Amino acid sequence: MKPDSWLADTRTSYDTVAVSYADQLREALGGLPYLRAALGLFADAVAEAGGGPVADVGCGPGHITAHLHSLGVDAFGIDVSPGMVGVARSDHPELRFEVGSMTDLDLADESIAGALAFWSLIHVPDDEVPTVLDGLRRALRPDAPLLIGFHVGNESRLKTQGYGGHPMRVHVHRRRPAQVSAWLRGSGFTVEAEMLLDPEDSVPGAILFARRRS
């Protein structure tokens, strides 16, 4: 794979599926009580740390950003796909969404009170993950919370079709919580809690609660 080709492939793929993806996920949180609980805990952590702007990095169509907003969080979204950002702005015109890459966040140092990357790191190659986490640490205020969600497993696969049968070309990386926790610690975070979702599924999910060290 050429350097950064994965990023261009991810952008193009999600531009292609943006509308279908949003249609499938728009009401999804209603049937995911444990995910909503995790987001509620994250919202509480942001408030307890003093509040302020929170970045939903890899926000997709903005449904998680909007849910955080409903919990009182000053959330805004960032996504590499202009198509996804367009859908998010249309669905949630009261919120702020920006086109940007998690590998090069256009955020000032210590400017955000929290961040989450919900199933967006899954497309980032292993050797780029520390860069992403270092960028998040730079942008977060000391002691600010970070929430990460991802697929659990040991392998990667190339996804060539999805969300209504549209063509895609994205690598989906499944990882063990211990590996993601190690990356977090290496980038200056303290891992505070781990939640395993649907552990009996063929591909469980995991959520890690972390905090930027002072």
Q: What is the pLDDT of residues 124-163, one digit of tens each?
A: 999 999 999 999 999 999 999 999 999 999 999 999 988 8
- What average pLDDT does this structure show over 66-82? 98
Quote the mean pLDDT of the chain.
Answer: 95
Using N-to-C axis directions, what is the helix angle for 5-25 and 82-91, rounded to 10°?
Answer: 30
In the chain the first and final C-alpha atoms are separated, in Å, by 37
pLDDT the model gives residue 122: 96
Superfamily of the domain at 5-212: Vaccinia Virus protein VP39 (3.40.50.150)
Q: CA-to-CA distance for 93 and 17, rounded, in angstroms?
A: 20
Domain coordinates of the chain in residue numbers?
A: 5-212
Cβ–Cβ < 8 Å for 46, 76:
no
Q: CA-to-CA distance for 178 and 74, rounded, in angstroms?
A: 30
Q: Which two tokens stand for residue 183?
A: 């990356």
Q: Which two tokens stand for residue 137?
A: 């640490």
Sign, Cα dihedral of 77, 83, 86, 91: negative
Could you read off the pLDDT of 91-116 as tens digits, one per residue?
999 999 999 999 999 999 999 999 99
- What average pLDDT does this structure show over 19-24? 91
- What average pLDDT does this structure show over 51-77? 97
Looking at per-residue pLDDT, the higher value among 114 and 5 belongs to: 114
Q: Residue 2 — pLDDT band, cuts 50, 70, 90?
A: low
pTM (whole model) above 0.75? yes
pLDDT the model gives residue 128: 95
